[in-house]
Amino acid sequence: MDPSHEILFQPVKIGPVTAPNRFYQTPHATGFGWQRPRSGAALRGVKAEGGWGVVCTEYCSISPTSDDSPHAFLTLWDDGDIAPLALTAEAIKAHGSLAGIELWHGGAHASNRMTRLPTLAPRVQPALYQLPTTARGMDLADMRAFRRWQRDAALRAKRAGFDIVYVYAGHDYLPFQFLSRRTNDRGDAYGGSLENRVRLLREMLEDTREAVGDTCAVAIRLAVDELQGPSGVTSAGEGREAVEMLAELPDLWDVNIAGALGNDSKSARFSEEGFQEEYVRFVKGVTTKPVVSVGRFTSPDRMVSQIKRGIQDFIGAARPSIADPFLPTKIREGRADEIRECIGCNICRAANNEGVGLRCTQNPTMGEEWRRGWHPERIPLARREKVLVVGGGPAGLEAALTLARRGLEVHLADAARKLGGRVNRESTLPGLATWGRVRDHRLHMLGKTDACLYPESRMSAEDVLDFGADRVVIATGSQWRRDGMGVLGMGGAFPGALTPDDIFAGADPGAEVVIYDDEHYFMAGALAERFAREGRRVTYVTPQSVVSSWTAYTDEQGFVQARLIELGVRIVTGQGATGWERGLRTTCSYTGVESLIPGETLVLCTGRLPDLALYQQLAGRHPALGLVGDALQPSSMADAIHSAHRYAREIDGPQPPRREMPPLTDGRAP
C-alpha cells in the first residue's frame, strides 16, 4: 500500500458499531428490489468482498403507502420481509463489513400504483410522480402512524441483521417534504418555523434510536441544499440550521444535495469529481459525529484529501463502487493503477429509471453476480487456444482482455493507429473526456497479460484465415446511417448530409448547421454543443418533444436542454425529417403539416448499421467465428462491452441466466 493512503484504512466508530475502514458504499438502487433478493444479496456481497467497510441497501419502503412501482424497491412492511433482507445482511457481514439499510417513505413522490393506497404528503398537493392524482395532506393520526411504521421497520431491520439503520430525509422524499418551505405550509406544530418543520425528523431519529440504538447505529441521510435558492433549503441557510439543530442525535450524517435525483448523481458531462463539496463541507464543523458524502470519487489521492481537509470521515460512493467493487482492495494492495474508474456516464441510473437490473459501462459483471455467476475479479481458466480479435474498440478490447484473463493466447488487430474505436471519437465531445477511461483501463490491463496488439493492421478475410487462429472474434463496430432512418422516422433522401462519422473524420459542417436527432441519446446534443462553442449557428431538430429525450433515463436531459439554450442553439421539436433540399424538409409529429428549416449543412444523428463485411466474408469459412459489440448490435457502449464479456465467458458453452421465481428457487430460464 502507498503509505499516503493508509488513512483510508483506519477504523471509524459509528455509535455502537465500528466500520473497518473509511470506504462507505452509500445507498443506491439495483433494480432488483423485493422481487429478487438473491440477486441483491449477491451484488452487495461482492462489494463487501471488495473491501467496502460499509455496504448499504437501496431504499427500503416502511409502508404500503410508499410504493414506487413500477421501479424496484425493497420492503419492510411486515415480518415476511425479514428473511429475504437477511440474505443481504448476511452476504455483507460475511466479509467483515457493516450492513446498512435505508428506510424510506416517498410521500408525494410515491406513486402507489401497485398498492393503490392514497399518496401522503405534508399538505394537499398534486402528486410529484407526474400522475393525474393528488396527495392527501397528513393529519396527526397519519403522523403517529408514520412514526410507528419507521419504528417497526427499524426493529425488523435489526432482526434481519443490519448494523446501520437509516432515517432518510434526502432526494425530496417525505421527511424532506416536511423540512422544505416549498412543500410544507402547515399551520400546526409540524409547519411554519424551521424548528417545527424539523420536528418530524427529530422524532424519527429519537424513535429509531429508542427502538434499535442499543446495537444498531442510527444514520440520517439529509439533503442540505435543494438547489432552489432562497425559496428552499440551502447549505448556507436552513440546511445548515437543520444540521445544527439535530447535530448530535444521529450516529452518522450522510449528506448530499436534493431536488431531482440527477442533481445528486450528476453525470461527468455536467460535473467534476467531488462536485458536492461546496455544499456539504460545513457539516463536520457543526457535529462531532462521523460524516459521509459522495462525489464520484475514483482517485485515492482525492479521497485522502477529503479526509485530511476535514470534509468527511468516510469516502461515500455509489457509482464508483459499481464500476469497481474491488476499489478499496486495489488501493490497499498497492494496485490503484488497476482501478476500473467510473466514467460518470450514468448508464447505471438509466437502468434504475427503466425499471431493470443494474448495469455499468465499465463493469460488465455488475448485476450479473447471481444471475450468471460472474465475479468482477475472478474468471475460470479455459483451454489454451489461439484467438484473433479483429477490432480494437471497447468490445474488442473487452473481449481480448477477458479471453487473456482466461488463459488464451490473444492477438488483437485494428486498422487504426490508435486503439479505442468509438471511445477515441466520443471522448472528444464536450464533457465526455472521462469516457476515455474505458479504453485506457483495458489497454493498461492488457499490458499486464501476454496478449499481442497490432494497430494499423487492417485485416482482410484471407489475412484472418492465414493467421491460423482457433477462434476469431469480429468486433468491427458500426457506422452512422446516411438515409435518416431512426427511432421514429423511416428515412428519406438527404443528399450531401454528414454523419457523426464524417465530423469525427474532420469534415467541416460550415457556419450554419442543422442537426437532426432521431436517435435521442447523447450524440446530437453533444455535437450541437460542440458546434455552438465553435461559433457556428446551430439548429437542433427532433421529432420528440424535448432534446436528447433518452437522456432522461441517465438523469441528464434537463441539463442537456439547458446547456443548448444557454449556448443559443435554436431548438425545433416535434418535427420529423423527410428530406433535404435547400434546407431540412419536415412534417409535424402531431399534425403532419410540412415545414422547411433552412441551413447550410445537415448532420444526421439517427441510427447506426453494423459493419458486417468481414464477418460475412468469413461466415462458413472459419469454424469458430464470433461477433460482438456494435457489429453484433449497435447500442450503448455498456451493451457492446457486455456482449464481448459474455462471449468470452461462454466460449466453453452457453450459460443460461438464472431467474428468481417466488418462492426463492434456483430456477433457470427455459
Determine the 3-state secondary structure of 286 from DSSP: coil
Please answer whether residues 35 and 65 qualify as being in contact, where contact means their C-beta atoms are separated by less than 8 angstroms: no
Please answer whether residues 373 and 46 qualify as being in contact, where contact means their C-beta atoms are separated by less than 8 angstroms: no
Determine the 3-state secondary structure of 203 from DSSP: helix
47 CB-near residues (< 8 Å, 6+ apart): 25, 55, 92, 97, 321, 325
Q: Give me the active site residues, please.
A: 173
Continuous H helices in 256-412: 261-264, 277-280, 300-308, 319-323, 327-332, 347-354, 394-405
Return d(Cα 594, Cα 614) in angstroms, integer.
41
Determine the 3-state secondary structure of 474 from DSSP: strand
CB-based contacts of 5-11 (< 8 A; 24+ apart in sequence):
5/300, 5/303, 5/304, 5/331, 5/332, 5/336, 7/304, 7/307, 7/308, 8/300, 8/303, 8/304, 8/307, 8/315, 8/328, 8/331, 9/328, 9/332, 11/53
529 CB-near residues (< 8 Å, 6+ apart): 429, 430, 431, 563, 564, 567, 569
407 CB-near residues (< 8 Å, 6+ apart): 381, 382, 384
Helix pair 523-533, 557-566: axis angle to 10 deg: 20
Helix pair 436-446, 394-405: axis angle to 10 deg: 30
Residues 390-429 as b/e (b if ≥16 CB within 10 A, e otherwise) read bbbbbbbbbbbbbbbbbbbbbbbbbeeeebbbbbbbbbeb
Phi/psi at 523 (5° precision): -60, -55
